[in-house]
Structure 1
Amino acid sequence: MSKAVLEKFRQREFILYLISGIIVTLTNWITYYLLENLVEFANWRISNIISIGFSIFVAYLLNRIFVFHSEQNIFPEIFKFFVSRFLISLIFEHGLMELLLTVIGFDPRILIFGYEFQVVKVLGSVFVVLANYFVSKYLVFRKSKSKIKES
C-alpha cells in the first residue's frame, strides 16, 4: 500500500475515532448528569462509575464497527477493551475527580447547552479520550502482522 493511501486511511480512522469519541463523551456526560440530577444518587462516585461503564459499552460498539473495522474474536477483544478503558477512566477521570472534588474541594461548574457540568469531569474526559485512542489502536484493535502485510 502506498504511503499516500496509508496516510489517508490513518486520517480517516482518526477522524472517525474523534467523532465516536465525541459521541461516547456525550454519552458519559449525559448519563452522569441524568444520574446525578434525576435519579439523585447520594454519591457522585456511583453516578460516575455507572456512566463510565455505559459509555465504555457504547465506545466498544462504535470502535469495533466504525473506526477500526475489527474482525477479531469478540471475547478476547472485548475483555481487553473493557479492562483497558475502565482502568484509564478510573485513573484519569475518576482519579482526577476524587483528587479535586474530595481531597482539594475544587468543584467549579460550567454551563454547556444550558446544563451545568463539573469542570473536573470535562477536564478528565480530555485525558481519557487521548489515552484511549492509543490503547485502542495499539493494543485492543491491533491488526495481526499477516493482516498488515495484506494491506
Structure 2
Amino acid sequence: MKNKKEMFSYLLFGVLTTLVNLVSFAVFDKWMGMDYKVATTIAWVLSVLFAFITNKLYVFHSKHTDALSLLREFTSFLFFRGLSYLLDIGTMIVLIELLNVDSILAKIAANVLVVVFNYFASKYVIFKTSRG
C-alpha cells in the first residue's frame, strides 16, 4: 500500500513539477523570445526548487530537519537533478537542432525521460536513508 501511495504522490507532484517546468519554459521561450537553452535552464531551476520541497515533504516524507541532513539531501538532490538537466538539455538540442522538432514538443518529450530518471534517483538514492 505504501508503495502505491508513494507512486501516486510522486506522479501527482511530478505532474505539477512538469507543469512548472513546461509553463515557465513556454513563458521564457515563446512569450519572451529567449533562446530555448536559456529558457530550459531557468525552467529547470524553478522546477528543481519546487520538486525538492514537494518530494521531501509529501512524496518521500523525509523527517530530517537538522542542517547536516538537509544539506546532504539537497546536495544529493541537486547532483541528480543536474544529471537530469544534462538529459533535458541534450534531448532538447537533439530534437530541436538535429530533428527540427518544435520546442514545446521537444520539451514534453525531454520531460518524459527526466521524470523517469528523477523518480529512481529520488527513491533509491536521495531520500533513501530518510525513509522508514
- Regarding TM over 0.5, the answer is yes
Aligned: 1:60 with 2:52: yes
CA RMSD, 1 decimal: 1.5
Question: For residues 59 and 99 of structure 2, what CA distance do their matches in structure 1 show?
Answer: 38
Given the two structures, how large is their TM-score scaled by the length of structure 2?
0.90
Aligned amino acid, residue 101 of structure 2? D
- Aligned counterpart, 1:101: 96
Question: For residues 118 and 53 of structure 1, what CA distance do their matches in structure 2 show?
Answer: 18
Q: After TM superposition, where is structure 1 displaced by more than 6 Å over at least 4 residues in a row?
A: none
Q: Retained in 1: the 8 A contact 2:17–2:47? A: yes
- Aligned counterpart, 2:33: 40
- Aligned counterpart, 1:133: 119
Given the two structures, how large is their TM-score scaled by the length of structure 1?
0.79
Q: Retained in 1: the 8 A contact 2:95–2:101? A: yes
Question: For residues 45 and 129 of structure 1, what CA distance do their matches in structure 2 show?
Answer: 19
Q: Secondary structure at the match of 1:106?
A: coil
- Alignment match of 1:51 (pick from 43, 51, 57): 43
1:80-95 to 2 correspondences below 5 Å: 80-91=76-87, 93-95=88-90
More helix by share: 2
Q: Retained in 2: the 8 A contact 1:56–1:86? A: no
For the pair shown, the structure with the greater C-alpha radius of gyration is 1
Q: Which has the higher contact order (CA 8 A, sep 6+)?
A: 2
Question: For residues 54 and 87 of structure 1, what CA distance do their matches in structure 2 show?
Answer: 16
Question: For residues 125 and 115 of structure 2, what CA distance do their matches in structure 1 show?
Answer: 15
Query: Which ranges of structure 2 fall in alignment gaps of 5 or more residues?
Result: none
Aligned amino acid, residue 33 of structure 2? E
Aligned length, in residue pairs = 128
